[in-house]
Amino acid sequence: MWRRSIKRLHIPSPAPILALGCLAAITITEALTSFGNPRAGMALYCALLAALVIGAGFLRLAPARCLLLGVSLAPMVRISSLALPLGGVPPALAALAAGIPPLAAGAVVVYSAGLSRQQIGLQATRLHREGLLGSVGLLLGPLLYLAQRQPPAGAPSLSALWAPMLALAGVGVIEEVLFRGIMQATAVQALGRPGILLPAALYAVLMGSASLFVGGVALAIGLLFGWIVQRRSSIVGVALAHALLNAVFILSSAILR
């Protein structure tokens, strides 16, 4: 009888509380890094990363464990951009280089969480539709540039444009694999459909240190891309859109400045 009543007890999942706690901790740490003391912010990011991976190791519930592993990619993104020797490297190439360690982390998370290629959206059934979806980036790139009206740091001249365009296109693909692929797959596993909110919010927090406008745009794009990935079960289209968005954004900054 006791066993039966224990079985009927509804034990709430810790995932929503964990998700909100992680979002709050990363927001505070990013604010400290950007507007306060970068050294303290970096130390806090490192502590947060260690806490997330160790915490994930102790959790018995698989979805909550995968959620923490997925979220650990966010501090990794900032640690990578701050701890790699990128001083003096052109910004576009620096961004691509800073994407490599988080991508390595992502590969281990995929293996450790037992995520399949389909779960992280690395599949495309109708390539022409994904291509059509990707072309949205061609429109969004110049629109964002015009809205921001501020060339990115180190915007190159037209003659030296191919390398930054290709580098930033690669950055777009890496970001989609990390945020909409791996992080969203783990968040949706733990939180259900509202799980698309978490990677979009984390993406906005990491982008938003530049300005509130950039953060707002990143949140809107993150939610739109997250919703598309959730519906289509593929990140190919949004990765292409993000790659084209970044490439056209840098092209616009060279042409329209």
Q: Which residues bind another protein (CB under 8 A)?
A: 33-34, 38-39, 42-43, 45-47, 49-50, 53-54, 56-58, 60, 65, 68-69, 72, 76-88, 91, 94-102, 104-105, 107-109, 111-112, 144, 152-154, 168, 171, 174-175, 203, 206-207, 209-210, 214, 217-218, 245-246, 249
Integer Cα distance of 220 and 203 in angstroms: 10
Query: DSSP letter string over 28-89?
Result: HHHHHHHHS-HHHHHHHHHHHHHHHHHHHHH--SHHHHHHHHHHTHHHHHHHHHHHS--TTS
Q: Counting Cβ atoms within 10 Å, is residue 194 exposed (0-12), middle (13-18) or buried (19+)? A: exposed
Shortest distance (Å) from residue 3 CB to another protein: 24
Shortest distance (Å) from residue 5 CB to another protein: 28
| Residue type at position 245 | L
Nearest residue to 77 via CA among 173, 153, 175, 152: 175
Q: How many residues does the chain have?
A: 257
Shortest distance (Å) from residue 157 CB to another protein: 18
Nearest residue to 156 via CA among 256, 242, 251: 251
Cβ density class 236-255: b for 16+ within 10 Å, e for less: bbbbbbbbbbbbbbbbbbbe
Q: Chain centroid to CA 159: how far?
A: 31
Question: 16 or 55, CB closer to another protein?
Answer: 55
Question: 127 or 146, CB closer to another protein?
Answer: 146
Question: 57 or 126, CB closer to another protein?
Answer: 57
Shortest distance (Å) from residue 162 CB to another protein: 18
Integer Cα distance of 185 and 167 in angstroms: 26
For residue 8 the two structure tokens come to 């009927």
Shortest distance (Å) from residue 124 CB to another protein: 24
- SS3 assignment, position 153: coil
Shortest distance (Å) from residue 53 CB to another protein: 5
Shortest distance (Å) from residue 212 CB to another protein: 13
